[in-house]
Amino acid sequence: MSLLEMKGIQKSFYGNQVLRDVDFTLEAGTVHALMGENGAGKSTLMNILDGIHKRDGGTIRIDGQEVEINSPSEAQEKGIAMIHQELTTIPEMSVAENIYLGREPVKRGFIDYKKMYQDTSELLKMLNIELNPRIKMGKLRVADQQLVEIAKAVSQNARIVVMDEPTSSITDREVENLFGIIRDLKLRGTGIIYISHKMDEVYTITDEITVLRDGESINTWKTAEVTNDMVIKAMVGRELKEQFPKIEVPIGEKLLELKNLTIQGQFENISFDVHAGEILGLVGLVGAGRTETMQALFGITKPESGEIFLKGKPVTFSKPADAIAAKIAYVTEDRKGEGLVLPMSIAHNITLPSLRELSSKIFIRKGEEKDAVQKEMTGLKVKAASVKLPVKMLSGGNQQKVVLAKWMLKEPDIIIFDEPTRGIDVGAKAEIYKLMGEFVSQGKAIIMISSEMPEAMGMSDRIIVLSNHQMGGELRREEFSQKAIMAMAMSHM
């Protein structure tokens, strides 16, 4: 008897059918990968299991018994815990309060904070997570918030744990720690549904793989019996001949230069330039100062010292609007928190930074707006039933494409990509890489922050390595190797 069996699951949104008779089975004590392109239906299927969405058809059985799950609290009662890719933490509450939210220990009618902090401390110690239970979640980096979400799921003693891109924001050492936790859960008989686009992880930690495509079940295999090419072909419906479609582009004039840019404690004396036609990789271990440097360049924070030159002329960006006016765009890592207005429509998200260009005094030129949106939607292959849909209804990959679309509409000269393919499937990655190549072939430039070494080496013309807030080194394309990059990344540790 299977731990979980989902049969013939159907679901539609606004007349758009996103799941068509999907089958999925999970055995106790196994890790089962759920794979597919963004928009394939993975998150929708899991949101049905977690009680966030109500299915239109099909059945769910746990231990052979048919169940109804109408809310996340009902899912929790039935032993289901879900760790979402987009974190659902409460920033103003402590680590302990987030872990035990709704399950707080009570003493004489009041929350027993002493016990809650003690239980949290023991839980984190067991999981080898070094965090203060009393610190507010909002003060933690994304990687640590992800680990807290994992600890929360473990604390619930769930029999079914869904992990949606659990390693998207954590270091290699933390990934190994997570895999240790997963193996312990397996030994307890827990069934784990593992959603990831990282093929190496899937082959390392999973026992079975199921692929969805366009809302349908395509195939299920034992992980040991299927090849990487077979999985990719099932996901995208075609073979991907080249993982990193790097377009060779002549390198032109210097567009941007940073000289000794510094904010003490975040980054110090950072100096590099980027040229027309170039994809410049910016790499380093988590916490090295990559994002912080780019935020200072974009006017989100103010450098304490150092200079920025745009086409040879000194510039100062006191706010992001200044950088945007200078034709610099910034695709942030946190697309939901910083890149999109989730309740607004797809169309309005795309045109939001360009309303001045699309308006005549106080009125928006609707025809131009419609044409602009359609052009970007088509060019980026955004999958949506209508541009009027709230952007929150899209899959993570399609939301990322909407973020790209809004900046492409501004026709920038330089784009900063912060983890451009985080949580995006192999097919969508190839599309974004192709877009990046087409962009720089127009005499423009990209600065790409990436934690994925193959991506950084596959797409960059040069790589700048940061180490512990400082310059670790620089490599030309012919010098790229993981060993050389890691040596530079560790040089100031």
* CATH number, domain with residue 167: 3.40.50.300
Q: What single letter denotes the amino acid at residue 329?
A: A
417 shares its domain with 452: yes
Pairing outcome for strands 160-164 and 80-83? parallel
Confidence at 367, pLDDT banded by 50, 70, 90 = confident
DSSP E strands: which ranges in 89-165? Answer: 106-107, 110-111, 160-164
Is the pTM of the predicted complex or chain greater than 0.85? Answer: no
Q: Tell me, yes or no, whether 391 lies in a domain.
A: yes
Q: Tell me, yes or no, whether 119 lies in a domain.
A: no
Task: Tell whether the model's pLDDT for residue 424 goes beyond 80.
Answer: no
pLDDT at 283: 93
* Backbone Cα Rg of the chain: 23
469 shares its domain with 372: yes
Q: Which of 208, 236, 264 is the last residue of a domain?
A: 236
pLDDT at 376: 85
Residue 67: CA count within 13 A, CB half-sphere: 24
Decide which of 354 and 256 is more confident: 256
Q: Tell me, yes or no, whether 187 lies in a domain.
A: yes
Q: Tell me, yes or no, whether 434 lies in a domain.
A: yes
Q: Which one, of 142, 141, 122, 143, lies nearest residue 133 by Cα?
A: 122
Q: Tell me, yes or no, whether 134 lies in a domain.
A: no
Q: What single letter denotes the amino acid at residue 46?
A: M
The kind and range of the H/E element at 406 are helix 396-408
7 near 379, Cβ under 8 Å? no
pLDDT at 94: 95
pLDDT at 154: 85
pLDDT at 241: 58
- In the chain, DSSP finds a helix count (H) and a strand count (E) of 16, 24
pLDDT, mean of residues 451-470? 91
Q: Tell me, yes or no, whether 87 lies in a domain.
A: no
351 shares its domain with 426: yes
Distance CA 273, CA 267 (A): 16
198 shares its domain with 328: no
225 shares its domain with 261: no
Q: What angle do CA 479, 485, 491 make, to 5 degrees?
A: 125
Decide which of 337 and 300 is more confident: 300
Distance CA 94, CA 118 (A): 13
Distance CA 123, CA 135 (A): 15
283 shares its domain with 230: no
* Max Cα–Cα distance, the chain, nearest Å: 73
pLDDT, mean of residues 18-44? 90
261 shares its domain with 220: no
Distance CA 215, CA 247 (A): 32
Number of domains in the chain: 2
Q: Which of 236, 270, 287 is the last residue of a domain?
A: 236
Q: Which one, of 441, 410, 453, lies nearest residue 282 by Cα?
A: 453
Domain that holds residue 382: 254-489
pLDDT at 98: 94
Q: Which one, of 343, 402, 337, 332, lies nearest residue 39 by Cα?
A: 402
Q: Which residues of 93-121 are buried (b: 16+ CB within 10 A; e: fewer)?
A: ebbbbbbbeeeeeeeeeeeebeebbebbb
Handedness of CA 332, 146, 39, 395 (dihedral sign): negative
pLDDT, mean of residues 193-209? 92
Task: Tell whether the model's pLDDT for residue 240 goes beyond 60.
Answer: no
Over pLDDT 70: what percentage of the chain? 97
Q: Tell me, yes or no, whether 400 lies in a domain.
A: yes
pLDDT at 258: 97
Q: What's the pLDDT tens digit per position in 101-157?
A: 988 999 999 999 999 999 999 999 988 888 999 999 999 887 788 888 888 888 888
Over pLDDT 90: what percentage of the chain? 53
Confidence at 176, pLDDT banded by 50, 70, 90 = confident
Distances, alpha carbon 325 to alpha carbons 176, 306, 333, in Å? 43, 21, 21
459 near 278, Cβ under 8 Å? no
Q: Which of 236, 265, 285 is the last residue of a domain?
A: 236
Per-residue tokens: 377? 């939607």
pLDDT, mean of residues 165-177? 77
262 shares its domain with 227: no
Per-residue tokens: 370? 């419609």
Close Cβ partners of 149 (under 8 Å, ≥ 6 residues apart): 83, 84, 87, 88, 89
Q: What's the pLDDT tens digit per position in 384-422?
A: 878 888 888 887 778 888 888 888 888 899 999 998 887
Q: Tell me, yes or no, whether 141 lies in a domain.
A: no
170 shares its domain with 207: yes
212 shares its domain with 267: no
Handedness of CA 181, 182, 185, 186 (dihedral sign): negative
298 shares its domain with 420: yes
483 shares its domain with 358: yes
Environment class of 302 (CB within 10 Å of its CB; exposed 0-12, middle 13-18, buried 19+): exposed
